[in-house]
Amino acid sequence: MKSISYGRQNITNEDIDEVVKVLKSDFLTQGPKVKEFEENFAQYIGAKYAVAVTNGTDALHLCNLALNVKPGDKVISSPITFVASANSVLYCGGEVDFSDIDEKTYTLDLNKLEQKLKNSPKGTYSGIIPVDLAGYPVDVEKLRKIAEKYNLWITEDACHAPGAYFTDSKKQKQYCGNGAYSDLQIFSFHPVKHIATGEGGMVTTNNEKLYKKLKLLSSHGITKDTDILEENHGGWYYEMQELGYNYRLSDMNCALGISQLKRAGENVKKRNKIAEKYNEAFKDIEQIKIPFVADDVYHAYHLFIIRIKKRKELYNFLKESNIFTQVHYIPVHLQPYYKKFGWRKGDFPVAEAYYESALSLPMYPTLTDDEQNYVIDKISEFFK
Ligand SMILES: Cc1ncc(COP(=O)(O)O)c(C=O)c1O
């Protein structure tokens, strides 16, 4: 059996043709493919606006800039996420605080979060960056109620969750990133994600003012919009009105994204099928804890995370069989860089226990039946 990784991209001939068309066109960047990708993505997610950016990390940074995160501002995120969710706050001079995860969903425990806010002096925090870990949607309706009480903004890190939804109290399906309850939402198009553009990212929002600010900041803070120019010297004239960055995604990346997006919905279904097969195969292996999914939730399964006691042994056993699993994630507060801020083992017991036993199995839409059977057989063999 050839090697099987925990995730991988899928590039079709149509994807390649679309990129080649851009290479032969007049615009490699700042051309028509950017707007088309933004519009198609916003429509897929169900949000009003989308801003394409260079990657998910820059998307987070841009959100913090648009929300005016300043030195001294405190933002809460999950200890179980990719480091970028937290780092983006530090880029703006802000401070990151963490709150423990829920034992079942591995996303922020909203009861513990509320307790933390209750126990802190009013005005301690400015915002929250919840993470839809593995593709499990955070209940942002409940989170919004908490955020309103404490006057906090919400930037949902939905990198793992395009296509996932939860059902709100009005029985409406709320797709991750649609902006119904969060202020801003971000996505990544790194190759292992649902949509691959090489590097790439997107911010979605329903807030026009934030959208305009994101657009401005993503391109040096420069505008040619005659409605907001302070002066106008002629057709060439532009103004730099804010200190922005070059976080623009190129037309090549966007063309690939547009083409990938056409398969996104069907690929989430394939991921769910793969999850069903794992769940069925592991239901009698009591040493394996399979992912929890509430009845009113549709999981996007960016990752299929199991919990087992002998995690390292299983990881090594599978590696010897050419199956490359991964651990998502090492708690951010225990990274050496973050320990410098005073975080210690024991600060977030649920997150730390999760880390000791979590393992991400191969999960991607093109995983074949034979490959998945091989993975299942090897895992069953390990537990025999
Ligand atoms: C949860 C989460 N947030 C942020 C990022 C950062 O995205 P990118 O790698 O596109 O910068 C990632 C991707 O690795 C991620 O998984």
Domain with CATH 3.90.1150.10 in the chain: 264-383
For the domain with range 264-383, which CATH number is right: 3.40.50.800, 3.40.190.290, 3.90.1150.10, 2.60.120.10?
3.90.1150.10
**Ligand 1 close to Cβ of residue 253 (< 6 A):** no
DSSP classification of residue 128: E
CA of residue 57 to ligand 1 center, whole Å: 6
Task: Report the residue among 54, 190, 193, 328 best suited for mutation to probe ligand 1: largest number of ligand atoms under 8 A from its CB.
Answer: 190
Which is the closest atom of ligand 1 to the Cα of 133? 1
- The secondary structure of residue 171, as a DSSP letter, is S
DSSP assignment of 1-27, as one string? ---EES------HHHHHHHHHHHTSS-
pLDDT of residue 237: 98
- CA–centroid distance, 232 to ligand 1, in Å, is 40
Ligand 1 touching residue 260 (CB < 6 A)? no
In angstroms, the CA 294 to CA 262 distance is 28
Q: What is the pLDDT of residue 332?
A: 98
Distance CA 35, CA 42 (A): 10
Q: Distance from the CA of 128 to the center of ligand 1, in angstroms?
A: 17
For CATH 3.40.640.10, list the domain ranges present in the chain: 4-261
- Secondary-structure class of domain 4-261 per CATH: alpha beta
Instruction: Indicate whether residue 51 lines ligand 1 (CB < 6 A).
Output: no
**Ligand 1 touching residue 257 (CB < 6 A):** no
Q: Are 147 and 87 in contact (CB under 8 A)?
A: no
Binding site membership of 190 for ligand 1 (Cβ less than 6 Å): yes
Q: Which atom of ligand 1 is nearest to the CA of 58?
A: 11
Is there an atom of ligand 1 within 6 Å of 201 CB?
Answer: yes
SS3 assignment, position 374 = helix
81 lines ligand 1 (CB under 6 A): yes
Ligand 1 contact via 55 beta carbon (within 6 Å): yes
Listed in sequence order, the DSSP H helices in the chain are 13-23, 32-45, 56-66, 84-91, 110-118, 140-149, 208-217, 251-261, 264-282, 311-320, 336-339, 349-357, 369-383
Please, are residues 193 and 271 in contact by the beta-carbon 8 Å criterion?
A: no
Closest CA to 261 of 42, 52, 41, 33: 41
Whole-model pTM: value is: 0.98
Ligand 1, atom nearest to 201 Cα: 10
Å from CA of 289 to ligand 1 middle: 25
Atom of ligand 1 nearest to the CA of 132: 1
Residue 329 C-alpha to ligand 1 middle, in angstroms? 12
Intervals of the chain under pLDDT 70: none
pLDDT at 1: 79
How far is 248 from 242, CA to CA, in rounded Å?
16
Residue 159 beta carbon below 6 angstroms from any ligand 1 atom:
yes
Distance CA 246, CA 370 (A): 44
What are the C-alpha distances in Å from 79 to residues 216, 293, 323, 343? 31, 21, 27, 11
- Ligand 1 pocket, 54 CB below 6 A? no
Sequence-distant (≥ 6) Cβ neighbours of residue 275 within 8 angstroms: 291, 299, 301, 304, 363
Query: 10 Å Cβ neighbour count for 10?
Result: 14
DSSP state of 305: E
Please indicate whether residue 131, judged by its CB atom, sits closer than 6 Å to ligand 1: yes
- CA-closest residue to ligand 1 atom 14: 82
